[in-house]
Structure 1
Amino acid sequence: MSEIFLRIPADDPKSLVLAAAVCTAWRRIFCDLSFTRQYRKFHGAPPMLGFLRNTYHERTWGTGRNKQYEGYVVSSFVSTASFRSPACHERRHRRVLDSRHGLVLFQTPKRGEEFVVCDLITYDRWRINVSPELSGLIWNYELDEDDDDVENEMVTWNAAVLCVKDKCDHTYCHYGPFLVALMGSDEEQGVTFASVYSSETHKWSDMISIPEQDLMQMTGHIAVMGDKVYFQCEAETTVEYIIGKQELSRFDLPGEDEEFDDSDVDLVGVDDGMLLFATVLGPRLYLWSLEACPNVAEDWSRRRDIELGPLLPPRALFGMSVVGFAEGVGAVFLNTEAGLYTIELNSGRSKKVHEEKSVEKVMPYMSFYTKAWGRSPTSH
């Protein structure tokens, strides 16, 4: 039975849970730590259980001259497998920033803390407040001459969450320590700044900065390789943050062919140990790879072009843009006029995963569901 259970697809948690509930003997197999380790080894990279996204709404109240408006963000989880976490229902005033190593990072502007990190499998939450030095920057305010808070649109920022469990292969990151890396740009001061929070010390590091005029893309994708975090700025500039050394550096993407002058080539993630960049032009998906810490233009190379015509319905070939990438399973998310699709780079298969036609960014949630099998006292 163990050999049969090993072959249940990792992206089908419903079947796993149902099988574990059949009888005590089967449940004992699923809850055995050696079996869960074999299961993860058998399947390799964690499966994609779904993705998170943000939508923006407007609420009105009052009438006539007293009519008022309030904009707010709603975060939601969309399942792409037989998985639905109780921690994933739609939440107002909670913006998803990043999803990685089984953790999700939210910004919570209407709560008493600035950030919340969630494990969607174990339902654990960690609430985080920023340091006073960073508070004014991430809330985009500054003091005017009357000592009142005013919005500062010259500051943009983004943040990433990453597991730092010792010798972790990131197939089973539950309960491990994590870091939150925050990086931003202050156009008025002409600097890019960064700081990191540790769940072990419950403290933020001292803020570091480098001269930089380009603003950070708040909705841009983030890539992580070891303790190196990559954020994209405007003007096709990428900033590298080496957490261990507390160093910041930037590099510009080498010039490409003239045919891509009007297309945004964006950082989307990491694949095969290299930074992955992508864009859509016409009915084709273009991918580039770039070595980490690039020193010369030769490190940048065209990886492949994918003809999308045979993979997507005709209506989906209009208004396309790359909005996400699922590392490990190698799936690119495309927003189209016909909905949201994934393209698997290895198999070339396409799949419609949502009806929404105006998705700006998706953050895939990757994790094995094995932790949920051992929630009874007999399994500990």
Structure 2
Amino acid sequence: MGDVLLCLLITDYFLLRPSLLLGNALYFVLQYSRSIMKCDLGAREMSLIDMPSECFFDRNVLMATEDGGLGFDNLVNHWHRLCLWSREPGSDEDAGWVQSRAIDLETLLPNEALSIYLDVAGFAYGVAVIFLKTQVGIFTIDLKSCQAKKVFEDGSCNYILPYMSFYTPASVDCTERPRTGTSIA
């Protein structure tokens, strides 16, 4: 698998889309092979996960499912329908994909937002919100309430990397000298 993966990485490239960190694994979408590369940081292993053949790969973003599993969204049907896919439980080799939900964007977005310029721009893990880029601005789709909201007037950004909070470790006064028998970690 290592030689095949190395060859694939040389001939393929990552889509310029946000990656996804779930547990100890980091996931990236690969363009030409139509697959997702899984980098298990704990085991130091890489593997490939095939994506469904019926999906259009230029308009999707990796996301976490409600149960914390791997998923992605995909714009289809002239980009007026947002399909949510989730990975069935099991090992990478024998697990498959299931379309868990389809959202009709024509009922959520204004007509001027429904164009060929509609694209998925990001996903906020923990609050289940998808960001859509349109020619009239950025919209959020709340997956729990299925409501859309315009959050930014300008649609010129390509991708959104939302964050919920920052972790700040306990502060250490670097000017103070350590006392005998103590250490600074």
TM-score w.r.t. structure 1 length?
A: 0.39
> Identity of aligned pairs, percent?
35
| Structure 1 segment 1-380 matched on structure 2, within 5 A | 210-212=6-8, 213-217=11-15, 219-235=16-32, 236-256=34-54, 260=55, 264=58, 266-272=60-66, 273-281=68-76, 282=78, 283-291=80-88, 293-296=91-94, 299-318=96-115, 319-367=117-165
Q: Distance in 2 between matches of 1:275 and 1:345?
A: 16
Runs of 4+ in 1 over 6 A off after TM superposition: none
Cα distance in 2, alignment partners of residues 211 and 247 from structure 1: 16
Q: Retained in 2: the 8 A contact 1:223–1:269? A: yes
Instruction: Identify the range of structure 1 (240-249 vs 269-278) with the bigger mean alpha-carbon deviation.
Output: 269-278
- Larger Rg, first or second structure (1 or 2): 1
Give the root-mean-square deviation of aligned CA atoms: 2.5
What is residue 60 of structure 1 aligned with on the other side? none
- The alpha carbon displacement at 1:278 in A equals 1.4
Cα separation, 1, equivalents of 2:21 and 2:155 = 28
Q: 1:216 to 1:263 in 2, by over 3 A?
A: closer
Gap runs ≥5 in structure 1: 1-189, 193-209, 376-380
Count matched residues: 159
Q: Normalising by structure 2, what TM-score? A: 0.75
Unaligned 5+ residue runs, structure 2?
Answer: 172-185
Q: Whose relative contact order is higher, 1 or 2, with alpha carbons under 8 Å and at least 6 apart?
A: 1
1:351 counterpart SS class: strand
Change beyond 3 A, Cα 1:253–1:279:
same
Q: Could you tell me how far apart the structure 2 residues matched to 1:313 and 1:244 are?
A: 45
In structure 2, C-alpha distance between the alignment counterparts of 1:287 and 1:354, rounded to whole Å: 23
- Kept in 2: contact 1:271–1:328 (CA 8 A): no
Following superposition, the deviation at residue 362 of structure 1 comes to 0.4
